[in-house]
Structure 1
Amino acid sequence: MEKLNQVLLNPALQVGPDLAAWLQAGGGLGLQAALNAPTTIIRQIADADLRGMGGAGFPAWRKWEATANAVGDNKYVVCNGNEDEPGTFKDRTLLSASPHQVVEGALIAALAVRAACVIFYINPHQGQSLQHMRLAVSQWQDSPWLDKLAAALGHPLAIKVVASSGRYIGGEETAVVASLEAGFPFPRKKPPFPAEQGINGQPTLINNVETLANVSHILRHGAAWYRALGVGKAGGTKLYSLSGDVLRPGLYELPMGTSLQELVFHYGGGMLQGKAFKAVFTGGPSNTLLTARDLDVALDFDSVWLRHSRLGTGAMIVISEGSSIIRKVAEYIDFFAKGSCGQCPSCKCGTFQLARLLDRVDGGRHSHADLDALQHLCQILPGSGRCGLIDGAVTVVKSSMHTFPQEYGLTAPAEA
């Protein structure tokens, strides 16, 4: 089946933890270009408009610049591979099939911010990803590249692989810092941001696996090449994790800005059993639902935001007519309730209460008072936690009540 503009999933680069094969396929050229002109790296990342692919879509260069400008003798770069959200399965593919493009991107980032240590923070539940990254990193440690980097930096560069806690909340960037400081992955209030004060109080750059995997290609081919891969104003490619009620679920690398219609009905083969498209959970289960009227939306960060949702990780969980939205929402809120770290009572108790009420609604055992309680919780809980978990949980509940009020037995849409 046709797949357009493959960069990260280019079959020639799927060499596993084999550094020699990676270099044979053109690996190392991006790192060499960075070594030749280290002061231009951040500008090239900015010109490419590389976004953070872990969820927020924040311009990568801003984090890089903040870390580079921060004062610290032992800066860190962390590759966040804690991927644990329902419907998202892109990072584990990159880590398993092509770990060296992730390592090379992280090394370029280390050169840009003048880091002393690179850490690959990998979900232990993804056993092959963890194994392949350890093998890949050991090969870089035995290669001449680290000597070249040490010479350019003026100090040695350590690289290592660390298993994360495996908890969903452990992927939040301040929780990453807490975990790597040998503690429980409790999120922390920001500011300070990790770029200012991260691991052991040192400036720390934290980027998602997919973000870093793009870096060597940008340095090798140039920012203009990368931008031209996208559609419209969007640049580059995006990994879309397509799942749910489609004929061909899977991981698709397509131009950033590909329409939802094209992803679902061309690449995904359309709906199962010929059913009609009902809705999609975008970027995982913590965003506003999009419906059939949004099939024309371009799947890039800005366009999806204009539809009052978020592209997030690029996960697209498709729901067909005849399937219960409430049941899916109840499943996801139960996931959030179990994933809450318990640090903030409003989050721990709030997600538990949301899950309890949704289970009653799904089972048809609810009262009008239960619906009132759901709407009241959605009003008072946002902004009450140290991280975005409770906000994401509320967002999807509010969206489902507003978009599909009839499933809740409401006579009018709930407040969005």
Structure 2
Amino acid sequence: MTFEPVLLTAKTRIGADLNQWLSEHGGLGLKNALKDPDSIINIIENSDLRGMGGAGFPTYRKWKAVADQINEEKYILCNGNEDEPGTFKDRYLLKETPHQIIEGALIAAIATNANHVYLYINPHQADAIESMSKAVEQWIKNPLFTEIESYLKRPLELKIVKSSGRYIGGEETAVISTVEGGFPFPRQKPPYPFESGVHGMPTLINNVETFATVTHILKNGAKWYNELGIGNASGTKLFSLSGDVLKPGLYELPMGTTLRELVFNYGGGMLSSSPFKAVFTGGPSNTLLTNEDLDVCMDFDSLKAKGSSLGTGAMIVISEGTSIVRKVAEYVDFFAAGSCGQCTSCKTGTYQLSRLLRRIDTGSGLQTDLHALESLCTLLPRSGRCALIDGAATVVSSSLQQFKEEYQGQLID
């Protein structure tokens, strides 16, 4: 299926030719960064830009932590692993708008005094890799690149690194392991990447959309970005809308747009006029929102107040008549298959969650299976080195909280 984006700020507009990008006011953010390098992190802080890969961590704090390190070697990693069901924003940006991503990563290199910029891309996204490879070749030959090296006072490495293609490969410490040539096993923190990342050097890891946004902030200013949002929210967000809607697609909308607007205005409403039932927010590793939550503002703070999360901005819509138990079982199967096996609690925990869900979904579940599910949702969170097991437990727990009667209705006793 082809998704046509709704464009708001040009975050998703310019194609693969660098000259075209520069002729249409690309490069201005980078030039502003070179004019006043010391102001970059302050601009990012004032913009209230947060990480667009899921966690929503303030971007400037990561950048400042790396900038404060005195090491000669530093790394910038642009995380484009994107492998979660319902999320398709990064692959679109990588394929269609490579230069704004690279420009944002180069601005980060100037801000942190980093001399290695790696574009970490899922190998299953062949079109994205082809587009980014051509863009990298163009940037390396451009005078702006030489100007950055002059500022850094040493050569700048810009290259593509293919991820393992596994879901777990997008976890930030697993990214580091892969870049170093190892298996994508997540690592314990601390130390954090800003202290000890690639080859033990300070490392900044941000999502594709985050770097794409940086480019426009440095071009237009923090105040401009603040004013794009609704209410107290800043900027825009790319929403991957899928599921039981008439117009699934990629929508760039003001941060703070309501769920109702996304589903019924931009998404065209529900398929076959079926009633809205629920939405998996931020992808399948998050909580479910129901009809009562349609007027929630989709920004980091508003969703956090609801006990949910914006995550990657993926919104998977479910209509009445669709089994929540079956959908949750499908997503937990994905997590079980994606576990790297390093943590016993994750490998066995996701397997047990999957097994219990399948028993209930197929009509062979007992009341004891439901109790076991509830117990696992209490025991498993924070038991692994990364958030995979937390995500699996969260979606099961949320579905039990919101649709307990649906589970009960499928038990045989």
1:141-220 to structure 2, matched below 5 A, reads 141-220=140-219
Aligned twin of 2:397: 398
Once the two structures are TM-superposed, the CA of residue 410 in structure 1 deviates from its matched residue by 7.0
Aligned twin of 2:314: 315
Deviations along 1:22-81, one digit per CA (max 9) or x if unpaired, are 111111111001000000000000011111000010010000000001231100000000
Aligned twin of 2:100: 101
Deviations along 1:127-150, one digit per CA (max 9) or x if unpaired, are 100111111001111111221001
Indicate yes or no: 2:325 matched with 1:326: yes
Name the CA distance, whole Å, in 1 between partners of 2:131 and 2:338: 27
Aligned twin of 1:356: 355
Once the two structures are TM-superposed, the CA of residue 196 in structure 1 deviates from its matched residue by 1.0
Name the CA distance, whole Å, in 2 between partners of 1:220 and 1:367: 59
Runs of 4+ in 1 over 4 A off after TM superposition: 1-4
Aligned twin of 1:26: 25
Indicate yes or no: 2:390 matched with 1:387: no
1:205-354 to structure 2, matched below 5 A, reads 205-354=204-353
Amino acid at match of 2:223: A
Indicate yes or no: 2:5 matched with 1:6: no
Amino acid at match of 2:12: L
1:40-59 to structure 2, matched below 5 A, reads 40-59=39-58
SS at match of 2:242: strand
Deviations along 1:357-412, one digit per CA (max 9) or x if unpaired, are 1011110111111111111111111111000000110011011111101111179x
Name the CA distance, whole Å, in 2 between partners of 1:394 and 1:258: 28
Contact 2:297 2:303 in 1 (8 A): yes
SS at match of 1:133: helix
Once the two structures are TM-superposed, the CA of residue 165 in structure 1 deviates from its matched residue by 0.3
Contact 1:7 1:237 in 2 (8 A): no
Indicate yes or no: 2:115 matched with 1:116: yes
Deviations along 1:220-257, one digit per CA (max 9) or x if unpaired, are 11100011111011111100000000000000000011
State the Cα RMSD in Å: 1.3
Once the two structures are TM-superposed, the CA of residue 9 in structure 1 deviates from its matched residue by 1.9
Name the CA distance, whole Å, in 2 between partners of 1:359 and 1:202: 44
Amino acid at match of 1:9: T
Aligned twin of 1:92: 91
Q: How many residues align?
A: 407
Name the CA distance, whole Å, in 2 between partners of 1:23 and 1:38: 20
Deviations along 1:254-292, one digit per CA (max 9) or x if unpaired, are 001100000000000000011111000000001111001
Give the TM-score of the pair, scaled to structure 2: 0.97
Deviations along 1:64-123, one digit per CA (max 9) or x if unpaired, are 000001231100000000000000000000000010000000000000000010000000
SS at match of 2:373: helix
- CA distance 1:3–1:135, shift in 2 (3 Å): closer
Once the two structures are TM-superposed, the CA of residue 3 in structure 1 deviates from its matched residue by 4.3
Give the TM-score of the pair, scaled to structure 1: 0.96
Contact 2:44 2:217 in 1 (8 A): yes
Contact 1:5 1:229 in 2 (8 A): no
Contact 2:6 2:250 in 1 (8 A): no
Amino acid at match of 1:86: P
Name the CA distance, whole Å, in 1 between partners of 2:41 and 2:10: 21
Which ranges of structure 2 fall in alignment gaps of 5 or more residues?
A: none
Name the CA distance, whole Å, in 1 between partners of 2:5 and 2:164: 38
Once the two structures are TM-superposed, the CA of residue 5 in structure 1 deviates from its matched residue by 2.9
Name the CA distance, whole Å, in 2 between partners of 1:225 and 1:7: 14
1:58-77 to structure 2, matched below 5 A, reads 58-77=57-76
Contact 1:4 1:255 in 2 (8 A): no
